[in-house]
């Protein structure tokens, strides 16, 4: 009887279902036969599935805009033997053998990579190291060959001479011939096409223009949207052609005019420019920047590489004394000349100060030349895009893993000496996009919907608008509400509605391989009515919120530290795995230009030096940092009255 009762209940339920479903199906079937437009309209209606017809970026793609291989003159002189092929293979997740024999693999594949070798004498060092008889007739090249062949300190000094020579545009003519450059560039392009796999892995085409007048770093990477057929129509621009960025921008325009393609460029290491990376006075003319300069700069340079192996460039403690996190992996001794740095140079070297000065220039000239998005990348000269602390293969091949690398010279420039422990295991670029193709990644870069990290792959959302509410932070799909109510990182807010201030939806999800999250901060900069710039860092959401509260001074207590340096490990018993909030600017003035960006801070974790100390059983000097607080920087959102 029990079975019959169950059977009867099921049968009744089925009858009810068919009673409701069959008429609906019949109506739908009728509409298919009689009204095709009605079918189209029915399909357009919101689906039960929230993932249907989403037309906004839903994926974060991880990559590196700045990797050197043996094709770079200095990388090969330092001992790199890996070429673009090995670089792409490692990035795709394969095991490769590094130049000094160590096998290496990334924890997870990257989604895209730009092999950005120096354009000056690209590929020539392979022939120099091989002792090509035609090149040995040049006394400068013969001297390089002899000193590199001796190895050790002699090879290091030869490499430093090589770097100085080509960055000053004085590379010997014999290795700058167009015929040779064409053959190397064509081979590079063929390799990029071979490894480019739309939808799975993107091999973006690019190179580095390495201008260093007087030792001042003005380096920029040039990235292409298109394919090899476009890129091969013009050879890359070199420092031998010009060391003036304005001439690079002219070359970029001529490239686009000739090919119909698109290119962009992004600078790096303003901290090594001795005050001329983000100028207010044009270094070439000695006069204030012009309308033509500022318009050209932002037209061609929508991004800035804010963190990498030669130091972090977001902020400086001298410029931001109230920012407890400003002094992070700071390289501020000199340029590459070396000419020692003066304090007044700093304000023209760091991203946050440039963003503030950009507001001034916009007020004066009508265009903000420093309205850039922010990414991280490695600048590794090993062919290996390694930015993880536990998997760090160094700046160049001479500093691949070995017991004494922490205290060995990385570079020697006159009185300035950089030692192994000062290298930064940083960083990566994150791109919000809709698909993994050259075009989609390039377009995301152009609209600045990107962010940079010092290595971890945390997912970060940042939206600005006028109508975000606390309840929006309870959404499990921040993008859904973020795009519906506001603009994403890299976007603009204009003309505040009367009585409203900007609201921001910000969220971060930890990298599963890395530390929990300490906090999310929003960094604000603004220009007041007297044309004076200001900044303020707000802690907007933080981990362990049930235990930590801001003090009377408004400062949030440190999250703590679980790092066991001797064992190079930590526990995720502090901080939170995810953070999300809606924040409203409490100090907003609708008359003042402003920008906002999010900075996500992890809890302390072991630095690469701690991993080396454990693995090799070495004791390092007390001055060597053993812990780090990794971070992410989003592109800003700007407010314009």
Three-state DSSP class for residue 628:
strand
Same domain as 467, residue 432? no
pLDDT tens-digit series, residues 468-495: 999 999 988 899 999 999 999 999 999 8
Report phi then psi at 342, rounded to 5. Answer: -105, 145
pLDDT tens-digit series, residues 1-14: 433 343 344 334 43
Same domain as 288, residue 159? yes
> Residue holding tokens 């970029």?
252
Last residue of a domain, one of 443, 475, 504: 443
Which residues have C-beta within 8 Å of that of residue 172, sequence separation ≥ 6?
138, 140, 141, 165
Residue 480 exposure: Cα atoms within 13 Å on the Cβ side? 11
Same domain as 64, residue 30? no
Same domain as 82, residue 157? yes
Last residue of a domain, one of 409, 443, 477: 443
Residue 454 lies in a domain: no
Q: Which of 536, 513, 537, 549 is nearest to 630 (CA)?
A: 513
Same domain as 315, residue 432? yes
Is 99 in contact with 382 (CB distance < 8 Å)?
yes
pLDDT band at 523 (very low <50, low <70, confident <90, very high): very high
Residue 165: the pLDDT is: 83
Dihedral of alpha carbons 302, 307, 312, 315, sign: positive
Same domain as 249, residue 136? yes
Same domain as 431, residue 348? yes
Residue 453 lies in a domain: no
Same domain as 35, residue 105? no
Last residue of a domain, one of 413, 443, 473: 443
Peptide bond into 422 cis (omega under 30): no
Q: Over 60: is that where the pLDDT of 26 sits?
A: no
Residue 629 lies in a domain: yes
pLDDT band at 41 (very low <50, low <70, confident <90, very high): low
Which residues have C-beta within 8 Å of that of residue 393, sequence separation ≥ 6?
98, 102, 104, 380, 382, 384, 386, 400, 401
**Token duo for residue 51:** 């993932």
Residue 164: the pLDDT is: 79
| Distance separating alpha carbons of residues 523 and 11, to the nearest angstrom | 63
| Distance separating alpha carbons of residues 303 and 442, to the nearest angstrom | 11
Report phi then psi at 368, rounded to 5. Answer: -95, 110
**Token duo for residue 348:** 């023209």
Average pLDDT, the chain: 92
Q: Over 90: is that where the pLDDT of 25 sits?
A: no
Same domain as 572, residue 546? yes
Q: Which of 438, 372, 385, 425 is nearest to 64 (CA)?
A: 385
Most confident of 46-50, 137-141, 269-273: 269-273
Q: Over 50: is that where the pLDDT of 515 sits?
A: yes
- Return the minimum-mean-pLDDT range out of 398-412, 427-441, 566-580: 398-412
Mean pLDDT of 239-249: 96
Q: Over 70: is that where the pLDDT of 15 sits?
A: no
Mean pLDDT of 189-193: 98
Number of domains in the chain: 3
Whole-number percent of the chain with pLDDT over 70: 93
Residue 51: the pLDDT is: 85
pLDDT tens-digit series, residues 536-593: 999 999 999 999 999 999 899 999 999 999 999 999 999 999 999 999 999 999 999 9
Residue 579 lies in a domain: yes
Residue with the bigger pLDDT between 223 and 49: it is 223
Same domain as 116, residue 144? yes
The whole domain housing 10 covers 2-44
Residue 37: the pLDDT is: 55
pLDDT band at 531 (very low <50, low <70, confident <90, very high): very high
Same domain as 503, residue 381? no
Residue 49 lies in a domain: no
Mean pLDDT of 599-603: 98
Residue 617: the pLDDT is: 97
Which letter does DSSP use for residue 493 in this model? Answer: E
Same domain as 77, residue 31? no
Residue 119 lies in a domain: yes
Residue 270: the pLDDT is: 97
pLDDT tens-digit series, residues 349-377: 999 999 999 999 999 999 999 999 999 99
Buried b / exposed e over 196-205, threshold 16 CB at 10 Å, is beeeebbbbb
Residue 170: the pLDDT is: 82
């Amino acid at each position: 009887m029990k079975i019959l009762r169950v059977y009867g209940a099921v049968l009744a339920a089925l009858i009810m279902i068919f009673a409701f479903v069959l008429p609906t199906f019949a109506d739908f079937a009728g509409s298919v036969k009689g009204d095709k437009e009605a079918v189209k309209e029915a399909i357009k209606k919101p689906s039960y599935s929230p993932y249907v017809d989403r037309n906004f970026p839903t994926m974060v793609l991880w990559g590196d805009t700045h990797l050197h291989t043996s094709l770079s003159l200095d990388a090969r002189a330092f001992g790199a033997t890996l070429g673009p092929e090995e670089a792409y293979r490692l990035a795709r997740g394969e095991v490769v053998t590094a130049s000094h024999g160590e096998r290496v693999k990334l924890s997870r594949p990257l989604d895209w990579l730009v092999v950005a070798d120096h354009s000056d004498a690209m590929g020539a060092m392979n022939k120099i190291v091989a002792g090509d008889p035609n090149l040995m007739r040049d006394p400068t090249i013969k001297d390089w060959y002899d000193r590199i062949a001796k190895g050790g300190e002699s090879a290091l000094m030869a490499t430093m001479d090589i770097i100085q020579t080509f960055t000053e545009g004085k590379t010997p003519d014999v290795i700058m011939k167009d015929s040779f450059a064409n053959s190397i560039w064509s081979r590079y392009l063929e390799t990029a096409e071979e490894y480019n796999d739309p939808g799975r892995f993107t091999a973006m085409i690019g190179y580095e223009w390495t201008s260093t007048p007087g030792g001042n770093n003005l380096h920029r990477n040039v990235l292409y949207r298109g394919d090899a057929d476009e890129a091969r129509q013009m050879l890359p621009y070199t420092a031998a052609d010009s060391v003036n960025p304005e001439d690079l921008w002219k070359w970029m325009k001529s490239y686009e005019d000739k090919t119909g393609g698109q290119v962009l460029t992004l600078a790096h290491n303003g901290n090594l420019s001795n005050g001329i990376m983000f100028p207010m006075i044009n270094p070439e003319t000695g006069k204030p920047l012009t309308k033509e300069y500022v318009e050209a700069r932002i037209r061609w340079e929508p991004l800035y590489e804010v963190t990498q192996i030669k130091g972090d460039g977001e902020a400086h403690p001298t410029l931001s004394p109230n920012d407890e996190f400003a002094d992070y992996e700071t390289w501020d001794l000199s340029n590459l000349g070396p000419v020692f740095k003066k304090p007044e140079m700093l304000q023209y070297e760091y991203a946050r100060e440039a963003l503030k000065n950009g507001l001034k220039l916009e007020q004066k000239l009508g265009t903000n030349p420093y309205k850039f998005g922010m990414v991280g990348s490695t600048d590794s000269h090993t062919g290996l895009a390694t930015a993880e602390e536990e998997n760090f293969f160094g700046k160049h091949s001479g500093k691949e893993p070995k017991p004494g690398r922490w205290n060995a010279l990385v570079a020697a420039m006159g009185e300035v000496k950089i030692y192994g422990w000062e290298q930064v295991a940083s960083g990566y670029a994150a791109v919000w996009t809709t698909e993994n193709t050259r075009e989609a990644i390039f377009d995301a870069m152009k609209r600045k919907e990107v962010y940079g990290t010092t290595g971890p792959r945390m997912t970060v959302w940042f939206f600005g608008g006028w109508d975000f509410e606390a309840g929006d932070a309870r959404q499990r799909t921040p993008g859904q509400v973020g795009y519906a109510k506001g603009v994403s990182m890299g976007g603009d807010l204009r003309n505040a509605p009367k009585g409203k201030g900007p609201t921001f939806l910000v969220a971060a999800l930890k990298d599963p391989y890395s530390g929990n999250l300490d906090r999310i901060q929003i960094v604000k900069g603004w220009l007041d009515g007297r044309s004076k710039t200001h900044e303020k860092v707000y802690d907007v959401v933080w981990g362990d919120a049930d235990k930590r509260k801001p003090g009377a001074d408004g400062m949030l207590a440190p999250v703590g530290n679980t790092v066991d340096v001797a064992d190079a490990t930590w526990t995720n018993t502090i901080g939170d795995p995810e953070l999300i909030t809606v924040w409203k600017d409490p100090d907003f003035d609708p008359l003042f230009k402003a920008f906002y960006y999010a900075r996500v801070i992890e809890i302390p974790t072991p630095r690469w030096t701690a991993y080396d100390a454990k693995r090799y059983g070495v004791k390092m000097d007390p001055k060597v940092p053993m812990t780090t607080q990794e971070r992410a920087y989003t592109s800003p959102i700007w407010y314009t009255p």
